[in-house]
Amino acid sequence: MGSWRVERLDQLPTALLATIMTKLDISSICSLAVTCRAFNSCASHILSFLPNFHILDISPSMELIKSLMPPNSHLQSLKLDCGQLNDSSIELLLRPSLQELCFHNCADFSGKLLSEIGSRCKDVRSLYLGSVAEKRGRAIHISDLEELLGGCTQLEELNLMFDLSLFLRHNFARVWALTSKKLTSLEIGYISSVMVTELLSPNVGPHQYPNQIRPSILPAIQKLSLAVDYITDTMVGTISKGLALLTHLELRDAPLIEPRVTFDLTNSGLQQINQHGRLKHLSLVRSQEFLSTYFKRVNDLGILLMADKCANMESICLGGFCRVTDTGFKTILHSCSSLYKLKVCHGSQLTDLVFHDIAATSLSLTHVSFRWCNLLTNHAIKSLVRNTHLKVLDLRGCKNLGDEALAAIGSLCELKMLQLDNSDISDVGIAYLQHGIISSLVSLSVRGCKKLTDKCISVLFDGSSKLELQELDLSNLPNLSDNGVLALAKSRVPISELRMRQCPLIGDTSIMALASMQADDDRGHGSNLRLLDLYNCGGITQLSFRWLKKPYFPRLRWLGVTGSVNRDIVDALARNRPFLHVACHGEELGTDPWNNIDSSYMHDYEELDELEQWLQEGEWESDDEEMEDAEDDADVVVE
């Protein structure tokens, strides 16, 4: 910004500057604060009366929070990644005025966080707590949960994304009896099915007369989302009967051992779903996280019995129903006329015949997911795309889909997300996208499509279309080389998330190209990348790390590398960029799907990350020297 512009900004009335800046988020305010003295002064002032304070893309330190959170009686919404915080920050964070609290990554907090929220934030209406006390040595007591539920009497939405199965069962239901009667949405990260059944069961309470039936503890619940050890008939029946206002039900289990019949879902359990007729959204998923297991006691009859009560369903997700055939899935399509979202995972008996007469239905599907449905072929997709308003299409693991499927998909002009992992597509098929949906796509994944080569990049990004693509997954492509990445860099597409893990031909040249990449808005080198996954890329050496430090990749928040390249250099990079999540063990990058409750939280960043620059000016030189020392040490080792 020129000096004449700075002078003009200095002359603007302070009240006008404050009015403008209060419309911005924290990162944008910090961006303005470093541009001139007037904005810096105004930023410091408005932080004392902002109603919203949201920082979820970095893990701020206690010192940073102190700088940005002065006393503020107007603060209503606080959302933070608490990865660097602990109990010592509770007094600073919790304000009586808060109505919305969202704390991710609270592993270093103890149960004191719960009890203090209950005593300090009486008016909170929406509460999200993730990973509380997961760090070794931290603990949560039932009394902490009791103070939280008893103190927050205005709660309407509660998300406890940690393990609640550790609490003693005999006190659990008694404590939940204190819950706000206004609570309409409840999500729990993990809880045993027995605890859920006891919590919601209308049985005789511990301090009641024998003939006295306990009323529902959660009478107003409309949305319930639980991860449990086992999805059982008893639990499903108790939920369906006890929660009369339920419209959303999401249940997910991940058995450690093959469930017995008394701890499993059967046709009888499905028949009990939606007893009150209000259910609009249903998700029943058996995860393969620990054991390759399925709902083996559910078949087409169970789906038929469920469909009789689910005619008004709008969204259905079924995962692990290995005995359900085309008959069951067709029943859903033909019975649920309002259905717009359909997800099937591990549908091992789902075939093309399900979609043969889909045109005869009144469906207008917009979100479709068929993951690991290996019997589907190109013919199914040709029928499916008659739903011309499809916006999300997830076909991961459908190995028999090829270029003909892409030719059909290319006609979907409203498609925003397309996932084709491990399919049989080739560069020829990718060309069909270039002439159709590529201009509308925001997210594309071709992970594990082993026929693809560098040519698919040049075909997709030939410059003939204005692209909105923000997320691209090119992982596990054995024929993708630096030449493909060079073509991507030249295209100037403003990609914010790029995954290229397990690509043996990707090397230092790709990193240099991406570091020099400029998007069409000419806002700096590597300007838009917020996530870059390079795990186990065969050609990455210590040279790449020189291009991964400041000032390159200024917006980078997630980086995946192979720690064995050189641990000292990786550690030095992490210290050089304290707000960068560096993953070295092959873990998938980005926000956990269970924690992704704020997908609308997106920022526009300037050429440098001013949030860091504002508070850390003067640290660059020492950090760069530290990385150079690590690189020199690595050179000695190599020699």
Q: What is the pLDDT of residues 385-418, one digit of tens each?
A: 999 999 999 999 999 999 999 999 999 999 999 9
pTM of structure: 0.88
Q: What is the pLDDT of residues 412-436, one digit of tens each?
A: 999 999 999 999 999 999 999 987 7
Report how many helices (DSSP H) and strands (DSSP E) the chain contains, helices first: 24, 20
**DSSP H helical ranges for 263-308:** 267-271, 300-307
Percent of the chain with pLDDT over 70: 86
Among 55, 47, 60, 102, which Cα is nearest to 603's?
55
Q: Is the pLDDT of residue 603 over 80?
A: no
C-alpha separations of 8 from 11, 32, 249 in Å: 5, 15, 56
Q: Where are the chain's structural domains?
A: 51-182, 184-202+217-350
Q: Which amino acid is at 251?
A: L
Domain 184-202+217-350 has CATH 3.80.10.10: yes
Among 303, 301, 237, which Cα is nearest to 273's?
237
What mean pLDDT comes out for the span 22-27?
82
If pLDDT is split at 50, 70 and 90, which confidence band does 32 have? Answer: confident
pLDDT, mean over the chain: 87
Domains 51-182 and 184-202+217-350 share a fold: yes
Q: Is the pLDDT of residue 621 over 50?
A: no
Question: 419 forms bridges with which residues in the sheet?
Answer: 394, 445
If pLDDT is split at 50, 70 and 90, which confidence band does 231 have? Answer: very high
The reported pLDDT for the residue numbered 573 is: 87
Q: What is the pLDDT of residues 448-471, one digit of tens each?
A: 999 999 999 999 988 766 788 999
Least confident of 71-85, 384-398, 460-474, 616-630: 616-630
Q: Is the pLDDT of residue 188 over 80?
A: yes
Q: Is the pLDDT of residue 559 over 50?
A: yes
If pLDDT is split at 50, 70 and 90, which confidence band does 362 have? Answer: confident
What mean pLDDT comes out for the span 116-130?
98
Q: Are 584 and 540 in contact (CB under 8 A)?
A: no
Q: Are 225 and 198 in contact (CB under 8 A)?
A: no
Which uninterrupted H or E stretch holds 637?
A: helix 620-638
Token pair of 524, please? 């700096």
Least confident of 153-162, 401-410, 550-559: 550-559
Q: Choose between 79 and 601: higher pLDDT.
A: 79
Least confident of 34-48, 187-201, 270-284, 494-508: 34-48
Q: Choose between 280 and 202: higher pLDDT.
A: 280
Q: Spell out a b/e string for 556-577, using b for 16 or more CB atoms within 10 Å of the CB, else e.
A: bbbbbbbeebbebbbbbbeebb
Return d(Cα 217, Cα 510) in angstroms, integer: 57
The reported pLDDT for the residue numbered 214 is: 61
Q: Is the pLDDT of residue 523 over 80?
A: no
CATH architecture of 51-182: Alpha-Beta Horseshoe (3.80)
Judged on CB neighbours under 10 Å (0-12, 13-18, 19+), 199 is buried
The reported pLDDT for the residue numbered 591 is: 58
The reported pLDDT for the residue numbered 147 is: 97
